[in-house]
Amino acid sequence: MLRRLGFDDNGNETMKRVGKALVLIGTAALLSGVALGQSQGAKYRPPVADLEAFVPEPMPAGFGVQHTDVDGPVFVNASGMTLYNWPLNNLRNGTAGDRKDAPPECVDEKRTVNTGLMSPYPGDLLLPDLETRPTCTQAWPPEYAADGAAPVGKWGIVTRKDGKKQWTYGGFPVYTSALDKRPGHVIGSSRRWNRGDSGSHREAIGPAPDAPPAFVVRTVATGRLLTTDVGFSVYASDGDTLNKSNCVASCLKEWRPIAAPQTALTRGDWGIIERSPGIKQWTFRGRPLYTRIAETRNRSLEGSDSPGWHNVYTQINPKIPAAFTIQDTRVGEVIADKDGKTIYLYRCGDDAQDQLACDHPSTTQAYRMAVCGGGDPERCVTSFPYVLAPVGAKSESLIWGTMYVDPKTGHQVDAKAPGALHVWTFRDRPIYTHGLDKAAGEINADGWGEFNGKRNGYKGFFIRDDYLNNAT
């Protein structure tokens, strides 16, 4: 039975299992949020207890690092805007994206037809709402290099097809997103990518986490999860004390201490204890680290079901607003509204050569209207109602928010617009319930749409899924 997430003393929904998880980070590498770049303007500080430490590296003048709500530290330009790249992705019938050390494929040309990269749809079908469809560079402005700029560290410069110079990172061209409006925004895309039929993916880029080579930090639905270098989750125990492991005898039949090499050195909040003569174990902020012997899945949360054991995170996501709950479903744990009805996120990416997203209220709503109501806005509002937000509702974080939308068009409008609805958003996109879900925990619309909802459709807002990897 999946454990519920409960309320804290303030009545806010908080993850019992995750809330107790060890959000353990170092501080030495934070450098006030900037890594060897010039000082940025006003910084956003996510409303979480601890932030993920990162490894400083040389950067172009004016660039920096910004901590974000769910994507960890990301690179930003001189204006504090998140930086992204678009690495070449394999699709069903070909590839899309930028090639390493090659001129960018994102150009200032309005695409009018689809490519046929996502079979069974043929190519050369006319795209909807062409009068408002942006070019690739309008949606993803290139981060141009100033005259006289020179490569530094992993940062290089590539000449675009129009002759302009653009920054690259690790050989891939760098962009900002037209959807990001302030420091801390990662609205354009994320570090999480549901591969398969979800389309070509842009990704926020950032510095390496400050962690020894034996560990990796991975973005999952609950935060920045610490795993081993082969993907198994890292755990810590309430039964241990500071820099001392009390996992002995029968405990060791279920939990494997993570051994530190004889040559390993302490760094930041990473420490080493000696379990017995010559046998060393990693600690993170003074807490000994383990893997679960029975675990077979990468990025698992199952070990946290054992009393007193918790996944380790470098940074946990901000609390969800108090208007929401957590519910068990037949597949996993989801975020739900105050009545327990499952929340759904809408995903959409078109099949033009530039693979632009179509899931934001500023983009065409033709795809969404087609899958939620056969093109009928009234059917859409019935089948996938918006989650209404009270006037004055606020979020402590940037990842959650509210906006006014016109349900007839699906676009964002002014608060005084006729028929405007005030709705909750996640990553600046409206969230929904489903008309066929009648009781708490029902999830009848997960995968509703094309390609099981991955390309154009609705997915449940999972925070844990032990079966289908919807949350990891």
Taking all residues of the chain, what is their mean pLDDT, rounded to a whole number? 90
Q: How many CB atoms lie within 10 A of CB 195?
A: 11
Distances (CA, A) of 282 to 208, 257, 279, 466: 19, 8, 10, 27
Output phi, psi for 366, to 5 deg.
Answer: -65, -40
Categorize the per-residue pLDDT at 118 as very low, low, confident or very high, splitting at 50, 70 and 90.
confident
pLDDT band (50, 70, 90) for residue 289: very high
**Lowest-pLDDT range of 120-129, 207-216, 244-253, 402-411:** 120-129
- Which pLDDT band holds residue 149 (cuts at 50, 70, 90)? very high
Average pLDDT estimate for 201-209: 96
pLDDT confidence tier of residue 10, bands split at 50, 70 and 90: very low
**pLDDT tier at 265, thresholds 50, 70, 90:** very high
pLDDT in tens, 21-73: 444 433 333 333 334 444 455 789 999 999 999 999 999 999 999 999 999 99
Q: Which residue has the tokens 């994102």?
A: 106
Determine the length of the chain.
Answer: 472
Alpha-carbon separation of residue 132 from 362, 374, 437 (angstroms): 9, 22, 35
Average pLDDT estimate for 262-279: 93
Which of 22, 1, 3, 69 lies closest to 326 in space, CA to CA? Answer: 3
Q: Name 89's Cβ contacts closer than 8 Å, sequence gap at least 6.
A: 95, 96, 97, 199, 200, 201, 355
Q: What single-letter amino acid sits at 90?
A: N
**Dmax of the chain from CA atoms?**
74
Lowest mean pLDDT across 1-5, 40-44, 106-110, 309-313: 1-5
Specify the pLDDT at position 412. 98
Q: Mean of the pLDDT values across residues 126-133?
A: 97
Least confident of 19-33, 160-174, 241-255: 19-33
What pLDDT digit, counting tens, does each position of 387-409 carry? 999 999 999 999 999 999 999 99
Q: Does the structure show a pLDDT above 50 at 3?
A: no
Answer positive or negative: Cα dihedral of 212, 210, 288, 216: negative
Name every residue whose Cβ is closer than 8 Å to that of residue 428 and which is 6 or more positions away in sequence.
179, 185, 187, 360, 401, 403
Dist. CA 246–CA 251, nearest whole Å? 9
Query: Over 70: is that where the pLDDT of 300 sits?
Result: yes
- Answer whether residue 182 shows pLDDT above 60: yes
Q: CB–CB of 366/450 below 8 Å?
A: no
| Percentage of the chain modeled with pLDDT above 90 | 83
Across 113-129, average pLDDT: 91
Kindly calculate the radius of gyration of the chain based on its CA atoms and give it in whole angstroms.
23
Give the Cα separation of 104 and 276 in Å (integer): 55
pLDDT of 169: 98
pLDDT for residue 194: 63
Q: What distance in Å separates the CA atoms of residue 165 and residue 167, rounded to the nearest whole number?
A: 7
Model-level pTM? 0.91
Per-residue model confidence (pLDDT) at position 37: 46
Give the residue among 228, 233, 232 at the shortest CA–CA distance from 214: 228
